[in-house]
Structure 1
Amino acid sequence: MDDIRVGLVGYGPAGRFFHAPLIHDTPGLRLAAVVTRDPGRAEEAGSRYDVPALPRAEDLFGRCDLVVVASPNRTHVPIAEAALSAGLPVVVDKPLSATSVEARRLVALAEERGLMLTVFQNRRWDGDFLTLRHLLAKGALGEVARFESRFERWRPEPKGGWRESGGAEDVGGLLYDLGSHLVDQALRLFGPARTVYAEIDSRRPGVASDDDTFLALAHAGGVRSHLWMSAVTGRLGPRLRVLGSAGAYVKEGLDVQEDLLRAGVAPGTPGFGEEAEDRWGLLGTDEAAGRVRTEPGAYLDFYRGVERSLREGAPPPVDPADAVETTRVLEAALLSAEQGTVTHLR
């Protein structure tokens, strides 16, 4: 069968380091064109993938079978709407949208047109997340009481750009960037949230968007999730700390796949996503704990799922309805921080 032709909108960090190499290494998909106005990025994409660079997303619509939106967050909704209206299935990088109203509108449009719409929540295929899901499935932690999850870094000097200097219209800041991942993971593991409490701050001079944020979710099933995202953490906390009646699982350090992709390692390389033993997490208590092998990270599984969805009609790798629920939690967090109260979700 012919390859599915993929048009990639945006060749910044998301497009260059994540989407393009993953698309390129997925059997049945072929990167057909990239949208970027940056001459250097256009040259790099052409050299690496032998694809043309186009100036506008609309220029893709007649030459591709799938549109991937990896452009700045404020453009996600209008580009996805235009592609769906043109009869094309769509992958949107997270966050899908700034508001749940916009997210529902996109989901409804995709359903009306009978088209696949999915969201690039690649952190569902992090090795630590896959390992935790396995531990929970076999009851290794007993009854979980608290889930702690962090994406922290030490970056006292801002890098600039729309993610840090833009206003609300740019959908920048860590809440919508890293928070989209943390909330999505918490909801997938422990079900819907009933309440949200948030502390959202901008700590560094000249940064307009949030760079130091904390969320507390109370899930309907009784688990409490504590989620941190920060650019001003001089000493990093554990990536995951999960506390249960039978013990705890503690995992330090980030999944290895992002660093490999940024270094130019092809995601189809044998052993890609495998983690060294000295990085494995600990399961147990202070009195008795042992290393637990980290499941291999598997970002390629996202685009393999996209290919199956388009060819076989399988469910998309990420249900867009999940993105609606994630966005509702992010909206509730903004309201909580603004009012200094706990926000209740219905």
Structure 2
Amino acid sequence: MPSVVQVGLVGFGLSGRYFHAPFLSVNPLFHLKKIASSRPDAVHQFDEKIEWVATADELFADPSIDLVFICTPNETHVEYARKALEHKKHVVVEKPFAITESEAIELLELAGQRGCLATAYQNRRWDSDFLTIKRLMAEGALGTVVDYECRYDRFSPIDPNARSWKEQPGVGRGNLYNLGPHLLDQALNLFGDPDTVQATIRIIRPDSQVADYFDIKLGYADKVVRLESSLMIYHNQLRYSLHGTEGSFIKGGLDAQEERLRLNQLPNEAGWGAEPDDRWGTLYRDGRAELVESLPGNYTPFYDNLYETIVNGAEPAITPAEIRRLTRVIDLAVESNRTQRVMPYAL
């Protein structure tokens, strides 16, 4: 493996253009060589030195590409990742890694057979709010957490003139597969395997063709964990409510990185990931309220770990066991909603 990893992107929509390309372009460990996309103008506008190809197959056939990012519609993730692995490319798959647990197992096994890395992009582990929560929990600021609630809401009414694939019905479509992996990955990262999964998944927006709301309860013996998301929340301020034996932490607002990336700012700029103070959370304990400055968010560690895993054999930040667990919980959430039952997590 060369000292600089040669990278190809499949897809150049929101994910490829605004999340991956900026971080790859400023990281000296990677060279973003080629992009397969239906939008050549967007590729050349971002960086005219990047090679453009029309199809993923052309990119996979390039023997110089070491690593491929799959940034395409959800239902194509497994097919493209499988083809990349068959060409012995390492693969990062946008969320959801796969639509079902069985598909995730299939991809992970193929990666093992090919001696390649297959991992998921779970960038929200490096959001400023989540990093701050992990620090507070590690410091014992809340005591033992007994009640955890996380929301990720947006106001996205149906535009009758829009043609986004995300609003078209189909396998793997809807908010559970869009924002759900973020909330679930964070909760599972904090608390581990749940005992049970219970979910309500429904449509609440007028004229929506995809499920745009979910409420998931992860069952643990010693705590309550609830995850909720709606695409019809105009004042989408509340994000986290944590309550422990020693105190509570309430946090609003979203990590600032996405909005800065959408403004074409690059992650090597000064002050990257700093969160405005009006988004800082409040810690309640000992009879007083304390504003807690958020740690800066930064997705760069994901890419640095990716390099260490590919080149030096380090453990991936997002492990195969974590990928399988997340896809299993989504499967169980779907089944719980269908049957109106509380589903056991254990096999």
8 Å CA contact 1:242, 1:248 repeated in 2: yes
1:239-250 matches, within 5 Å, as 239-250=239-250
Aligned to 1:293: 293
Matched, 1:339 2:339: yes
Aligned to 2:327: 327
Q: For residue 42 of structure 2, give the secondary structure of its aligned residue in structure 1.
A: helix
1:118-197 matches, within 5 Å, as 118-158=119-159, 159-168=162-171, 171-197=172-198
Q: How many residues align?
A: 341
Deviations 1:284-306 (Å, cap 9, x if unpaired)?
14941101121110111111111
Distance in 2 (CA, whole Å) between partners of 1:266 and 1:337 is 41
Distance in 2 (CA, whole Å) between partners of 1:167 and 1:84 is 25
Distance in 1 (CA, whole Å) between partners of 2:12 and 2:192 is 34
Q: What is the CA-CA distance between 1:145 and the residue it aligns to?
A: 0.9
1:1-346 matches, within 5 Å, as 2-45=3-46, 48=47, 50-61=49-60, 62=62, 63-158=64-159, 159-168=162-171, 171-219=172-220, 222-285=222-285, 287-346=287-346
Deviations 1:139-193 (Å, cap 9, x if unpaired)?
111111111111101222345422122222xx11110110011001000001111
Q: What is the CA-CA distance between 1:135 and the residue it aligns to?
A: 0.9
Distance in 2 (CA, whole Å) between partners of 1:237 and 1:193 is 27
8 Å CA contact 1:164, 1:210 repeated in 2: no
Q: For residue 53 of structure 1, give the secondary structure of its aligned residue in structure 2.
A: strand
AA aligned to 1:276 is P
Deviations 1:240-279 (Å, cap 9, x if unpaired)?
1111111111111000111011111101112100113332
Q: What is the CA-CA distance between 1:329 and the residue it aligns to?
A: 0.7
Deviations 1:200-241 (Å, cap 9, x if unpaired)?
11122332211111111113x522211111110133251111
8 Å CA contact 2:196, 2:218 repeated in 1: yes
Q: For residue 309 of structure 1, give the secondary structure of its aligned residue in structure 2.
A: helix
Deviations 1:113-149 (Å, cap 9, x if unpaired)?
2211111000000011111111111111111111111
CA RMSD of aligned residues (A): 1.6
Distance in 1 (CA, whole Å) between partners of 2:231 and 2:286 is 30
Query: Which stretches in structure 1 are left out of the alignment for 5+ residues?
Result: none
Query: Which stretches in structure 2 are left out of the alignment for 5+ residues?
Result: none
8 Å CA contact 1:167, 1:208 repeated in 2: no
Distance in 1 (CA, whole Å) between partners of 2:234 and 2:265 is 29
8 Å CA contact 2:205, 2:231 repeated in 1: no
